[in-house]
Amino acid sequence: MASDSEALQGLYDKHCVQGFKYAYGTAGFRYNADVLDTVMFTTGVLAGLRSIYLGGKTVGVMITASHNPPQDNGVKIVDPRGEMLEKSWESYATELANSASQNFASFQNKLKELLEILKLDLMTPGCVAVARDSRDSGPRLLAAFKTGTEVLANLQVTDHGVLTTPQLHFLTCKTNDLGQGAVIAETLYFKEFLSAWDELTMLCNIQSLPYKIRIDAANGVGAPKVEEMLGARSFFDNTFTVVNGDWKNPPALNHLCGADFVKTNQRLPQGISGDAKQGPHINCSFDGDADRVVFYYVNSVGEFKLLDGDKIATLFAKFFQELLQTAGLRDELQLGTVQTAYANGSSTHYLEKMLGVPVTCTPTGVKHLHHEAVKFDIGIYFEANGHGTIVFSEKVTELVTQKFSDASESKDRHNALQLLLVFSKLINQTVGDAISDMLGVMAVLSILKWTPEQWDNEYTDLPNKLIKVLVPDRTVFKTVNAERQLVSPVGLQQSIDDLVDKFDNARSFVRASGTEDAVRVYAEAATRQKVEELVTMVGQLVE
Ligand code: 16G
Ligand code: ZN
């Protein structure tokens, strides 16, 4: 405890160094691990304050840099329901970190100011749950974080050790649901999703997966977790293989593998070959903290075919629409999808025109998508990069339970109603979760009896390309309309539009990255060659 100045300084001096300027970005603070000690310390303080502010509810903290290279790390705060930290607190987090990065006196003043604005007392009890991914800077940064929590006198800190990001979101939510006294451990996560899987396979009479699955775990924390989880069921015996599972070798993390590598380079990761002798199978890649997943296969003529976040969203949309129809709930429950500007134009067309499912577009970043998805009864959101989930409103459970008690309903209808409930348990609704999404996709494919090709054939992606352009100051690139239009630099959007008009079926947008010092340029067009031309030309306009 550090109510007096000297004790507070003692804690500050243990980890804080001066001079770096921090900003809470799309997914928290994320930088080279060498500069993170100070912000880890202040995040310990801030997470504690957030818990006290919320009446002692448990607030989660995840130490990870997701798909970034091994030398990076980061930290993000998770609110009690498992969702991302509320926006107004992002600025408190940034201000507190930057005050500590100036000197002790500024930190002390900023802390005092926050306590006054928020009307908080450092003596009030609170709870924080923390976990980290497999990076080698994790233990050092965790220690700085824990010292920060000591600034609060009565803060209970639960250290969950090494977890995937979605496990931490899930456990944070469960801790608050189950209340004081409940034993919250990782086993709860495995149990929850495995029981949903058991229920589903029993209900649909699925004895085994239709084909084998190879999981590229990006040499990250997803590897031991998915192995432990699937290993616990004989159902999965001989049906899955983990490749790039070397999570105890931090320099290998995300290197030539993982969801981001596969999506960005549109090619197979290291360790997975397109060899036809493997027998029928599907592949998927997680990212470094297992909150993203993309699928892929190699077709009969040897081409690499990606089944990304858009394909996952459309698969679920089609499936749930049919399920609602069979359950007799199509008019009563609203199904909708949420995408970003990166969604392939063909996927949006398929959802809106072929399926008749509404699509909302939001800026990049899970918090934006999640926020819109909860407005639907069944809200499916996926970024093209594979990050996403499905959220179910309370009305789903209520209506299903109500209909279920009606004995006059047919057997098919009963089954569909039950399936809706089981899916709401199989999906990690708190945040995108590679393991839970993977099981969700495998469940749908097994029920529909679809091969990867059949899934892929629902629509054809427009050729697309994403490039990164380095500019002197990316903050001048300001967008509106869910990042699809630039309002600054003035005139640039008009020039892009004039270019796009010269191409068939084309689209292009430019936005400043929220995680890197660069501007991203995305383009789609009717052919590979045209998309190359367009993206290069728009890139030149931006430079
Ligand atoms: C973060 C976001 C991810 C988004 C990416 C965009 C979360 C948890 N993660 O990793 O969803 O796609 O940023 O990065 O929200 P960019 O702004 O550099 O393009
Ligand atoms: Zn991630």
User: Which residue has 């934006």 as its token pair?
Assistant: 368
228 & 266 share domain: yes
Provide the residue type at 67 as one letter. Answer: H
Q: How many residues does the chain have?
A: 543
Joined together, the tokens standing for residue 505 give: 């079926």
Whether the CB of 364 sits within 6 Å of ligand 1: yes
CA–CA gap between residue 336 and residue 327 (Å, rounded): 17
Residues 285 and 347 reside in one and the same domain: no
386: CA distance to ligand 2 center in Å?
Answer: 9
106 catalytic residue (yes or no): no
Cβ of 365 closer than 6 Å to ligand 1, yes or no, is yes
| Helix 411-426 with 434-448: angle, nearest 10 deg | 160
Amino acid at 12: Y
157 in the same domain as 279: no
Domain that holds residue 398: 309-456
Identify the pLDDT of residue 279. Answer: 80
Nearest alpha carbon, ligand 1 atom 19: 513
Based on the fold, state whether residues 516 and 421 are members of the same structural domain: no
For ligand 1, say whether the CB of 64 is within 6 Å of any of its atoms: no
- Asked if residue 531 is part of any domain, the answer here is yes
298/234 same-domain check: yes
Three-state SS string over 366-400 comes to HHHHHHHHCCCCEEEEECCCCCEEEEECHHHHHHH
Ligand number nearest to the C-alpha of 26: 1
Q: Which of 76, 308, 364 to mutate to test the pocket of ligand 1 (most atoms within 8 A of CB)?
A: 364
Q: Is 388 in the pocket of ligand 1 (CB under 6 A)?
A: no
Q: Given 243, 276, 307, which residue is the final one in a domain?
A: 307
In this prediction the ipTM stands at: 0.97
> Separation of 88 CA from ligand 1 center, angstroms?
19
List the chain pLDDT tens, one digit each, 543 residues. Answer: 445 899 999 999 999 999 999 999 888 999 999 999 999 999 999 999 999 999 999 999 999 999 999 999 999 999 999 999 999 999 999 999 999 999 999 999 999 999 999 999 999 999 999 999 999 999 999 999 999 999 999 999 999 999 999 999 999 999 999 987 777 899 999 999 999 999 999 999 999 999 999 999 999 999 999 999 999 999 999 999 999 999 999 999 999 999 999 999 999 999 998 876 678 899 999 999 999 999 999 999 999 999 999 999 999 999 999 999 999 999 999 999 999 999 999 999 999 999 999 999 999 999 999 999 999 999 999 999 999 999 999 999 999 999 888 767 788 999 999 999 999 999 999 999 999 999 999 999 999 999 999 999 999 999 999 999 999 999 999 999 999 999 999 999 999 999 999 999 999 999 999 888 899 999 999 999 999 999 999 999 999
Q: Are 180 and 213 in a shared domain?
A: no
Distances in Å between the Cα of 484 and the Cα atoms of 107, 190, 361, 479 are: 39, 39, 9, 7
Give yes or no for residue 124 CB within 6 A of ligand 1: no
Question: In CATH, what number is assigned to the domain containing residue 488?
Answer: 3.30.310.50
Asked if residue 264 belongs to a domain, the reply is yes
Q: Is the CB of 516 under 6 A from ligand 1?
A: yes
Omega cis (within 30) before 139: no
Domain total of the chain: 4
Testing ligand 1's pocket by substitution, the residue of 387, 474, 511 carrying the most ligand atoms inside 8 A of its CB is 387
Q: Which ligand is nearest to the CA of 85?
A: 1
* Any atom of ligand 1 within 6 Å of the Cβ of 371: no
- 8 A C-beta contact, residue 524 and residue 464: yes
CATH code for position 112 = 3.40.120.10
Q: Looking at the structure, tell me whether residues 428 and 382 fall in a common domain.
A: yes
Residue closest to 71 by CA, chosen among 246, 253, 222: 253
Cα 290 to ligand 2 centroid, rounded to whole Å = 6
> Is 199 contained in some domain?
no
Q: 469 and 409: one domain?
A: no
Over 199-248, what HEC string results?
HHHHHCCCCCCCCEEEEECCCCCHHHHHHHHHHCCHHHCCCEEEECCCCC
Which residue in 51, 66, 347, 446 is the catalytic one? 66
Torsion of the alpha carbons at 354, 355, 359 and 365, rounded to the nearest 10 = -100
- Among 421, 456, 491, identify where a domain stops: 456
3-state secondary structure of 455: helix
Task: Please report the pLDDT score of residue 183 as a whole number.
Answer: 79
